[in-house]
Amino acid sequence: MSTGTAQPATADLLDGVDLGRIDAHLAGFAALTEPGPGCTRLAYSPLERQAHAVFAAHMTALGLTVTTDHAGNTVAELPPTGPNTGSGDARALGTGSHLDTVPQGGGFDGIVGVVAAMEVAEIVVRQEAAHRRPWRFVAFAAEEGARFGQACNGSRMAAGLTGAADLAGLTDRDGVTVADAMAAVGLRPDLVDASRWRPEEWFAFVELHIEQGEVLRSQGVDLGVVDVISGSTRLRVRAEGRATHSGGTPMHLRRDALVAAAECVVLGDRLARDPRHHGVRVTVGRLRVEPGSITTVPGSVEFFVDVRDVDSVRQRDTARTLAAEFAALARDHGVALTTEVIADTSPVILPGWVADHIRHACASLGLPYRVLPSGASHDAQQIAHVIPTGLLFVPSDDGLSHVPAEFTPTSQIASGVRTLLAALHRLDGTS
């Protein structure tokens, strides 16, 4: 792919980034939350839909054409303007991220990328900046895997990785399927196959996101250009023992499902810390104990394991090893254990030529950057299956994310927005 002649973003355009506007958008989204610590705006909840409506209203007010597809993704399009309109390659450029959060999460994961899209759109419209491609600004639906196990539902449907037939098999903790949750907020799960993006319409997509790790902060660098995004394999494990009286049942007669599950949790942690598995991350973040009484030996436990890696072979080998070793451990406790893969997403290597444009954008602004992998999943990871995609990071204070304390200073977000704008400008002038 030729990189053609770069079209530098003008200083005026970059000067247009308004920190007050960014703060106001972030505060507006943060207010759309369930009660409790941090921000809770779950995938395919009414609050997530409200956030999409705020995004749509902003883009409509700017004069963009806004559509929400059957998967719940909202796309705002700005047609080409200026002297080169209609000349040459007219495939679209895109940017955006997601508006849902994990339970008791923060106000930055995903939101920063959508706010960046809103800010880029506002600057380009206000300054009537010329661009020869259509620019599309996207708020993806249901990126977080916290509710249904599978992450990135909206972008997976856009990329054709998840279809209508898959939506009845994924449930939340109350047994609500993705399909039912979508229908409850007015979407059409039966029609999502029509939400698939047409790759031939697209030139490139760039997502801005917070790092959700410590690398940029610890190195004092404000920008990260991602080369590879970790995959994840998620397991649902059910351990069935025997619920009995906690006082009346001697220790040698117990089949305690929680003791078996606890040993599995520790085993997963040990395995991931073993230098031979260096790089894999294993987490058990959700566990349900039945009957959940102080005075009853736990009879059954359900828990979820998240295995993440940038190496797809090691990711899946680790998941298989865990399933086998969990079963052996449980047998020692007289507990029956079953493991099921509920979600599996491959790591993705992002195309170097898109990353080069982002790196050159950083350099053109005199902003130091670091090339790094992403430990978290992203909409960019799904979109990259069908469209050349880049991912730009801004730092996370203390490396924290998925918690109320998640924070990125507005000045760093603004550096990200300027770099995004410059990168989109470069890509706009490229064939």
List of residues contacting Mn ion (CB under 5 A): 109-110
CB of 105 to ligand GLV, least distance (A): 9
What is the nearest approach in angstroms of Mn ion to the Cβ of residue 371? Answer: 20
Burial (Cβ within 10 Å: 0-12, 13-18, ≥19) of residue 356: middle
Tokens 């195309």 correspond to 351
Q: Is 377 in the site for ligand GLV (CB under 6 A)?
A: yes
Residue 155 interacts with ligand GLV (CB under 6 A): yes or no: no
Piece of the chain touching ligand GLV by CB under 6 A; list 143-151, 160-168, 260-268, 321-329: 143-151
Closer to ligand GLV at the Cβ: 109 or 222?
Answer: 109
Nearer to ligand GLV by Cβ, of 149 and 298: the residue is 149
Least distance in angstroms from the C-beta of 226 to ligand GLV: 13
Question: Considering beta carbons, is residue 187 or 376 the nearer one to ligand GLV?
Answer: 376
Tell me: does residue 348 bind ligand GLV (CB under 6 A). no
Query: Which among Mn ion, ligand GLV, none contacts residue 151 (Cβ within 5 to 8 A by kind)?
Result: ligand GLV
Using the contact rule CB under 6 A, the part of the chain among 128-136, 144-152, 342-350, 387-395 near ligand GLV is 144-152
Quick one: what does residue 377 bind among Mn ion, ligand GLV, none, with the CB cut-off 5 to 8 Å set by partner type? ligand GLV
Q: Does 383 bind ligand GLV (CB under 6 A)?
A: no
> How do 223-229 and 369-374 pair as beta strands?
parallel
Q: How far is the CB of 13 from Mn ion (least distance, A)?
A: 26
Q: Is 109 in the site for ligand GLV (CB under 6 A)?
A: yes
Query: Would you count residue 154 as binding ligand GLV (CB under 6 A)?
Result: no
In the complex, least distance from residue 47 CB atom to Mn ion, rounded to whole angstroms: 16
Least separation in angstroms between CB 162 and ligand GLV:
16
CA distance 174 to 382: 27
Q: Are strands 300-309 and 281-290 parallel, antiparallel or unpaired?
A: antiparallel
Residue 231 corresponds to which amino acid?
G
Q: Give the number of residues written for the chain.
A: 431
Per CB under 6 A, 376 contacts ligand GLV: yes
Do residues 256 and 422 lie in contact, with contact meaning Cβ atoms separated by under 8 Å?
no
Nearest to 52 by CA among 179, 143, 177: 143
Q: Does 208 bind ligand GLV (CB under 6 A)?
A: no
Q: Could you give the C-alpha distances from 104 to 40, 42, 154, 300, in angstroms and in order?
A: 5, 10, 21, 26
CB of 24 to ligand GLV, least distance (A): 24
Contact positions vs ligand GLV (CB under 6 A): 109, 144-145, 151, 376-377
